[in-house]
Structure 1
């Protein structure tokens, strides 16, 4: 019986893919994914039947992958990061019927970026996307408000686009009601990829011009500090 693998390929590039993800892709004769993400597979895509779509083609990709699996072909539909976080795992499970589905986890951008910044996510944290394409902005604002009030470390995905130029500034203004202005902030662009850029700053001194959709931001809690170029959020151990 053929299988549909929903694969998280990590932030980008073979070195941050799990062994399980690589093995699943090798088993498959068909790969489905967002066009730029397919390129991250490198030689793993050689000899495969490839189906790709552009932005906002998520449901189309899911339907293609399900169709190919039903045709008897082992198929991988890929997401960057983890397929269960802003990825394809949810819609595949909602749409799939009478096929064997396996979810393959991957390294999320938040953890990849955290490793490049030091240890900013050592305590309770949450991830919030600022994209309001599928989530109303007033709901996003409430999530930022409650997470900030609860002193969570916050990872921000999709912080800025060509049409959403001021959402991040609005989010920061909410955070500043609860977090100190000198709260450390890490900005990582293209985390886990060859052209990674990282910046360490504070909540009141973010350069919004360097932020785009390829960035994730990690905002510390009220105990987070900077040491020797690393961001550290204490877990509470006696040091």
Structure 2
């Protein structure tokens, strides 16, 4: 039996034009597709005769176990993530599941990068992450809030541009407000902030505001919040962080 293969595929923000060519190739080469049920419709145009396995939220481990099971049968499988597979997505969990099942070396693995949410949102805003920047998830499902608070505090001290993933949900409505309060210890009240909902997808919404005026009520799980550093500025409809060139 031939050795199976798992592609950990990042499909980007969700629109066809923002997928990578390698992601398209990997999905078309696969005999099986495993993914979160909300993401599968985003690649329906690539589904022909592949066997599709749709799983719900909070079943990330089960998705990886399914992909591994199929690959151990000699099949080629695409494990689907939105954005980039290696950024708050499925690639890391996949490697952990393979290790736990003593399957390292028993299947081939390829991580297929994609356009991540922070890059997509930044493009819609202009050029806000041109200088040193960090990504922080406000989800405390897997990371204690005390650790997230520390990350926010240190990023604020370090004057990094900050991309906030998972800024708000029904279960944690106050996390973004709390994050804003932490960052205001280190940032000016008029620090530029970009809010992008559904970045590079249908229904995209882009808003530029300030840290003090950040409208937390408008933010949801499909939102990226980009907080500028001390040099970030608003240029018309764009948010720009200078790289430091002498002009």
TM-score by length of structure 1 reads 0.98
- Residue 229 of structure 1 and its aligned partner are, at CA, apart by 0.7
Q: What CA deviation, in whole Å up to 9, does each residue of 1:55-109 have, x standing for no partner?
A: 1010000000000111111100010111111111111111221111111111100
- Residue 14 of structure 1 and its aligned partner are, at CA, apart by 1.3
| 1:212 matched to 2:228 | no
Looking at structure 2, the residues matched to 175 and 232 of structure 1 have their Cα atoms a distance apart, in angstroms, of: 19
**Counterpart position of 1:185:** 193
Looking at structure 1, the residues matched to 71 and 201 of structure 2 have their Cα atoms a distance apart, in angstroms, of: 30
Structural mapping, 1:135-174, within 5 Å? 135-174=143-182
- Residue 187 of structure 1 and its aligned partner are, at CA, apart by 0.5
Contact 1:14 1:42 in 2 (8 A): no
**Counterpart position of 1:117:** 125
Contact 1:183 1:224 in 2 (8 A): yes
Task: Please list every run of 5 or more consecutive structure 2 residues that lacks an aligned counterpart in the other structure.
Answer: none
**Counterpart position of 1:24:** 26
Looking at structure 2, the residues matched to 172 and 147 of structure 1 have their Cα atoms a distance apart, in angstroms, of: 12
User: Which of 10, 13, 16 is the matching residue for 1:11?
Assistant: 13
| 1:129 matched to 2:145 | no
**Counterpart position of 1:73:** 75
**Counterpart position of 2:56:** 54
Looking at structure 2, the residues matched to 153 and 181 of structure 1 have their Cα atoms a distance apart, in angstroms, of: 15
**What SS class does the counterpart of residue 88 from structure 2 fall into?**
coil
**Counterpart position of 2:97:** 95
**What SS class does the counterpart of residue 239 from structure 2 fall into?**
strand
TM-score by length of structure 2 reads 0.95
Contact 2:61 2:97 in 1 (8 A): no
Contact 1:186 1:217 in 2 (8 A): yes
- Residue 40 of structure 1 and its aligned partner are, at CA, apart by 0.7
RMSD (Å), alpha carbons: 0.8
- Residue 29 of structure 1 and its aligned partner are, at CA, apart by 1.0
User: Which of 207, 210, 215 is the matching residue for 1:202?
Assistant: 210
Task: Please list every run of 5 or more consecutive structure 1 residues that lacks an aligned counterpart in the other structure.
Answer: none
**Counterpart position of 1:36:** 38
Looking at structure 2, the residues matched to 184 and 23 of structure 1 have their Cα atoms a distance apart, in angstroms, of: 39
Q: How many residues align?
A: 239
- Residue 232 of structure 1 and its aligned partner are, at CA, apart by 0.4
- Residue 2 of structure 1 and its aligned partner are, at CA, apart by 2.3
- Between stretches 94-103 and 145-154, larger displacement belongs to 94-103
